[in-house]
Structure 1
């Protein structure tokens, strides 16, 4: 997915910080082990982090995300990133980059959650708070789909290609049947604010297993409520999935669309990363297994 990704390492990041933000030049700097696919993260001292896109951009993506975070933070029940500074492009790194406040917590591990029922309730409360947001600026949520009553139709070709390309690795007949069921689920066009990327890598939990923070709001905006049901299959065990759904009062059609979005994203990730990066491919394989088990 990132064939032309930038070469990002500790000397590069240290040089960027020292040149543009000398007040932080003396702080310790170390890479953060992350399964995120879009950004490299470095911890800067005890209270800051540096975030650089693998595909550098000068298209105001970082500034737009900061504006969204400033507007959304007071309306959400858990901590979200706060951008302390935005770095300018250089010859060494030709895109904007950002310095954030450090958020404490650990990424949840599917199958090893300290308190899955409480986490399900916390995640539902976060999604519900997001849905209730009413701001004058209503950017489209990821993946910037056309405003249509059939937003999943645009995902159909890529999903079927991924299924065909994974023959022998997944039950392609079951995957196709599940996808077709989700594709047929009706959508009335209702749009709400969605985070749109509630993957385990964008969630932080406390030592007690409670939701502590949510990360990466780059692609948040308004869209199909089904976009924020990812935790049901990517993170939560099956025995608390119904509690998550009930807390959000999700109807059958929205639940099917959410399941289909997870299946599509996971299949495409598996196909791209199966020979390159075992971490996202493994996470995606588990999500596909959960979806197909639920479909049966």
Structure 2
């Protein structure tokens, strides 16, 4: 999926895990096939999972991520992984890596979950709970999405150029031009920062689709309150998106910024992962189409 990916043989992974965590020596290991784009995932017994970065990470990065992961798990009303430990790079694997607790559930599907009202209510509960966490004087750290929309103009332009065969790029360009002029958030709130379907685990309960867990909380931190609203656009059709809007109660500018963050993210997924990760690419295309089809947003450019 990326240039410079690190190779990792199963036997090497077993050696690394046993050396760093002797108590796990001999525990069954099972590679897990996922749509993830950052880590190779290996199940360690029934309770743990090892995450080996695909393009490398420093131990300082993973220690920071572990602290954020534990803060997120303590703040989320739904199950989330906690850090078990980190390991430094070695001759066998030129990156730091980590072990976390395992959370059961099926990955949410942007098509099958599109009309799930109970899942929307669960996401309202999640987003609302995260917003109540004290930022403790912290501000947006400048990494990725969550600051100023205009900072992403160059990336969006690149994505539009690469996506002409996938989506209506002329319309997407007009909409981005309108949305990027929205006022930025006055204050930041604590945010998961990547509430895509592949980070949301679901389970069926009494005939309804419920949120069973939330993955990848390692970027938990202050950001634009609109950022976690991307989940509404990635997952739901228009009627169910209204449940998110009514439950979270954003003003119009915040709601529209949520659509802008979803558009920015989705435009990068479609073309970039077209061959290497078809499921991620399909998510990007479907989200762009949802944003472009929204009547309220269309009024901004028609």
Q: Tell me the TM-score normalised to structure 2 length.
A: 0.90
- Structure 1 runs of 4+ off > 4 angstroms? 144-147
- Give me the whole-angstrom Cα distance separating, in 2, the residues matched to 1:222 and 1:163: 28
Could you report, residue by residue, the CA deviation over 1:175-210 in whole angstroms, capped at 9, with x for unpaired residues? 112212211222243211111100111111123321
* Counterpart contact for 1:141–1:220, Cα < 8 Å: no
Counterpart position of 1:43: 43
RMSD, aligned α-carbons: 2.0
User: Hey, what does 2:187 align to over in structure 1?
Assistant: 190
Quick check: 2:35–2:277 contact (8 Å CA) kept in 1? no
Cα distance change, pair 29–146 in 1 and its aligned pair in 2 (3 A): closer
Give the secondary structure class of the aligned counterpart of 1:73.
Answer: helix
Counterpart for residue 159 of structure 2:
162
* Residues 142 and 196 in structure 1, CA contact (< 8 A), matched pair in contact too: no
CA distance in 2, matches of 1:286, 1:99: 33
Tell me: CA distance 1:9–1:256, structure 2 relative to 1, closer, same or farther (3 Å).
Answer: farther
> Helix, strand or coil for the counterpart of 1:206?
strand
Whether contact under 8 Å (1:159, 1:267) holds in the other structure is yes
Deviation at 1:145, TM superposition (A): 6.6
| Maintained 8 Å contact 1:61/1:218 | no
Q: Does the 8 Å CA contact 1:141/1:219 hold for their aligned counterparts?
A: no
Structure 1 residue ranges without an equivalent (≥5)? none
Displacement of 1:82 in angstroms is 1.0
Superposition map of 1:207-222 within 5 A: 207-208=204-205, 209-222=209-222
Q: Is the 8 A contact 1:115 1:210 kept in 2?
A: no
Q: Is the 8 A contact 2:52 2:97 kept in 1?
A: yes
TM-superposition CA deviations, 1:236-275 (whole Å, max 9, x none): 2322101111100011111111111111111122222224
- Tell me the secondary structure at the aligned position of residue 204 of structure 1: strand
**What TM-score do you get using the length of structure 1 for normalisation?**
0.92
What secondary structure sits across from 1:210 in the alignment?
strand
C-alpha contact 1:140 1:220 (8 A) present in aligned 2: no
